[in-house]
Amino acid sequence: MYAIDLHLDLAMNATEWNRDLRLPVPVIREQEVGMTDRTDRGKGTVALPELREGGIGLVVATQIARVAGPGAPFPGWRSAEQAWAHTQAQLAWYRCMEEQGEMVQVRNQLELEKHLSLWSDEDTTLQKPVGYILSLEGADSLVDVSYLERAYAYGLRALGPGHYGPGRYANGTNATGKMGKMGVDLVKEMDRLEMILDATHLNDDAFWQALDIFKGQVWASHNLCRALVDHNRQFSDDMIRALIERGAIIGMAMDAWMIVPGWVRHQSTPEGTNCNIAALAQHVDHICQLIGNVDHVSIGTDLDGGYGKEQSPYDIDTIADLSILGEKLKDLGYKDGDIEAMMKGNALRFLREALPE
């Protein structure tokens, strides 16, 4: 295993984008030629064969379903009940992948070590299942707080209370305001269940409030640096320091508008903005220089998270090319041990502490 990816919307791509992720990326792209319902048709970068090819044997895989009423600035379901039903369809897809031997769920430390042992086998003819830790991106789909324990029982281990815009539990990107009672109760229930709090997408108000309330393990599955790209989706240096004080890891995302400044949606291109893996490496370096070590940087690509090659670093064709990041970090003077820590070692250390025994 070469790398761990802390954020991939696999089930979303399967159930909403109608992609059979058992097929190689080029085949999926060919199937989408001529389709115009989404801007990323024919431009996907992630499938299970490419994860194996890139040595990405363990991922944090999401459920995601937002609630949004008529006129909301972001798309979503009309009710929490509908959103819950959609997350259950996503869960059913993961279960099907397990039955097919394509994936295996990792819910605790014992299952983690068993999966690591499988991927340490150097037999390249072995069709190894991709391990996944289940996460929920945005809590809107939880009809009420009691649903969290139900989700924990089927393997949910990490949760980000907010996503884009105002949420039922927490306000996210491009929104303002602290969490109300529902959000506070949710975070306290996460603490009781010893889940991982994903700080990604929380707006500044909710971020500081959540860190004050929550006492358990925190990570940011896919985030970059506000100092390099000034937007509320990114973390300020103070927020990064606060996360590190809590022992968090921060997954480096590969969404182009987060990597380079001046991105204009539906107009800019990766080539035109010089958005490449070297630019992403600058975010890595910023965090390492800020905190004085490499111990809290991880990978959370978010590739195919509602976009494709049109909004990814131009030198990434598929997720199998993730090793390019290691090469660019070497160019900045990072040693092999540093790179291995950032690609998988830091994530493993965190998971060995955060997952239940």
Measured CA to CA, the distance from residue 298 to residue 221 in angstroms comes to 8
Taking all residues of the chain, what is their mean pLDDT, rounded to a whole number? 97
As a whole number, mean pLDDT of residues 82-93 equals: 98
pLDDT surpasses 80 at 122: no
For the segment 52-59, the average pLDDT, to the nearest whole number, is 96
Residue 246: the pLDDT is 97
When pLDDT is cut at 50, 70 and 90, the band that residue 18 belongs to is very high
pLDDT digits (tens, 9 = 90+) for 278-330: 999 999 999 999 999 999 999 999 999 999 999 999 999 999 999 999 999 99
Q: Which two tokens stand for residue 91?
A: 């869960």
Q: Please state whether beta strands 130-137 and 297-299 pair in parallel, antiparallel, or not at all (unpaired).
A: unpaired
Domain that holds residue 208: 3-354
For residue 88, report the phi and psi dihedrals to the nearest 5 degrees.
-75, -30
**Any idea what the CATH number is for the domain that residue 319 is in?**
3.20.20.140
Q: Encoding tokens for residue 166?
A: 């105002």
Asked if 321 and 27 touch (Cβ cutoff 8 Å), the reply is no
- Weakest mean pLDDT among 20-29, 114-123, 127-136: 114-123
In the structure encoding, which two tokens stand for residue 263, read together? 């991105």
Q: What is the largest CA-CA distance in the chain?
A: 54
As beta bridge partners, residue 251 has: 298
- Assigned token pair, 65: 């379903």
Whether 74 has a pLDDT exceeding 90, the answer reads no
Q: How confident is the model at residue 134 (pLDDT cuts 50, 70, 90)?
A: very high
Residue 186 CA to residue 245 CA, distance in Å, equals 23
> Does 124 score more than 80 pLDDT?
no
CB atoms within 10 A of CB 178: 16
Confidence of residue 125 (pLDDT cuts 50, 70, 90): low
pLDDT in tens, 204-235: 999 999 999 999 999 999 999 999 999 999 99
Long-range contacts, 74-82 (Cβ 8 Å, 24+): 74/164, 74/165, 76/140, 77/140, 77/141, 80/140, 80/141, 80/142, 80/143, 80/168, 81/143
DSSP letter for each residue of 181-210: HHHHHHHHHHHHHTPEEE-TT--HHHHHHH
CA distances (Å), origin 331, targets 219, 335, 336: 27, 10, 11
- The tens digit of pLDDT for each residue in 152-207 reads 999 999 999 999 999 999 999 999 999 999 999 999 999 999 999 999 999 999 99
Count up the domains in the chain and report the number.
1
| Angle at which helices 181-193 and 146-153 cross, to 10° | 30
Dihedral over Cα of 181, 186, 189, 190: its sign: negative
Alpha helices in 204-315 (DSSP H): 204-213, 237-245, 256-259, 277-291
Cut 0.95: pTM above it: yes
